[in-house]
Amino acid sequence: MKQKTISIMAATLAFGLITSCNSNSSKETKTDTTAVSKVSTVDTGSSLIPDKKNFETTIDGKQTDLYVLKNHNGMEAAFTNYGGRIVSLVVPDKNGKMTDVVVGFNSVEGYEKSTEPYYGGTIGRYGNRIAKGKFTLDGKQYQLSINNGVNTLHGGKKGFQDVVWNANKLNDSTIQFTYLSKDGEEGFPGNLNVKVTYSLTGDNSLKCEYEATTDKTTVVNLTNHAYFNLNGEGSGTILNHTVQIYADKYNPIDSGWIPLGPIATVKGTPFDFTTPTTIGARINDNQQLKNGKGYDHNFVLNGTKVDGLNHAATVTGDKSGIVMNVYTQEPGLQFYSGNFMASKNTFGDGSKDDYRTAFAMETQHFPDSPNEPSYPSTVLKPGQVYKTYSLYNFSTIK
């Protein structure tokens, strides 16, 4: 079972080693290979990481496991190759208490049996929705598996979150997952070789790097679906988290979450997060929020840059004071407010996945792009390399 606290004495000692950065600091991307020697005498939150034995099993004839990363500040992350999932992400709060800001389960069985399949998962071959599971490439129409009403969501019935990836822990702070998505898998064309690298950087960022090649023209939109609660797992609602999204426009959707009409301005709507606003302040205010059952929309990033990356969002935990800044090479950000969490699953700390007790910030291209020529293209051709990365940087309020 994942515990959510450590002793004040140990937390204070760990916090003394933290070198946090503010949202305007340079985005350090070099992975940290000095973790073991720097933290060997400090309790850095290992009690928050699930037992490795709970992840050692066989699925689809392949071995699953748990992998733990560290940086020299005491930040830790746990991953499983079942779904290329983030299981835990441990950072200090404003008082130095180590806090797991990613909700999830303490065993691979928990992820297998969850009624919500996406917790922490690497998402593909196409993140978000494709209308009616159909698109046309080079004059040929493709029909994907349907798994979300009449549409395809996050790659189909068995997306990348449900497969066992090959794992290679490159060093103390870096894990690399690879997977071959075969031609025709879930209806997608082409043998797609995928490589996803997760690393902890020296400035307390989680770096997510995505790469893919294909032998036949296809569509690709990779992301990660971590569910965050910056106050910690089991801490209650996320409606009092403060959010700023660097987007002046968003995609209105129909009742099936498919983009509806032209891209719209956020000004004068509950989608205006251009200044910091709590998630719950306006969550029931208009027809779009009724269509999405809350926030479940793509925001069109306005190009606010930090060290060459789009600054996508800043989120602050109201209790913990933990600040998460999201930076990306992607043009869009799907903000999801946990609208379908329904107390059906038990997290690692024993709490239920209650309604709106976690949120997601998925960096991405836009939903249904294969059917919308005006959107940034998600087409990948033989000889091309799909390559993109995003950063989730953690600091605390000053």
Residue 357 DSSP code:
S
CB 71 within 8 A of CB 32: yes
Is 362 catalytic? The answer is yes
- Annotation says 225 is catalytic: yes
Q: How many CA atoms lie within 13 A of 308 on its CB side?
A: 5
Residue 79's nearest CA partner among 137, 134, 119, 38 is 119
Burial of 374 (0-12, 13-18, 19+ CB in 10 A): exposed
DSSP string, 265-334: E-TTSTT--SS-EEGGGGTTSSHHHHHHTSSEEEEEE---EETTEEEEEEEE-TTT-EEEEEEESSSEEE
- Which residues, 6+ apart, have CB-to-CB distance to 40 below 8 Å? none
Which is catalytic among the residues 225, 241, 311, 365? Answer: 225
Provide DSSP, 235-255: S--STTSEEEE-EEEE--B-T
CA 81 to chain centre: 15
Token duo for residue 4: 């959510």
Q: Which stretch of DSSP H or E encloses residue 112?
A: helix 108-113
By C-alpha distance, which of 55, 107, 45 is closest to 77?
A: 45
Q: Which amino acid is at 228?
A: F
Alpha-carbon torsion angle 59, 47, 363, 71, nearest 10: -110
Active-site residues, by number, are: 225, 362
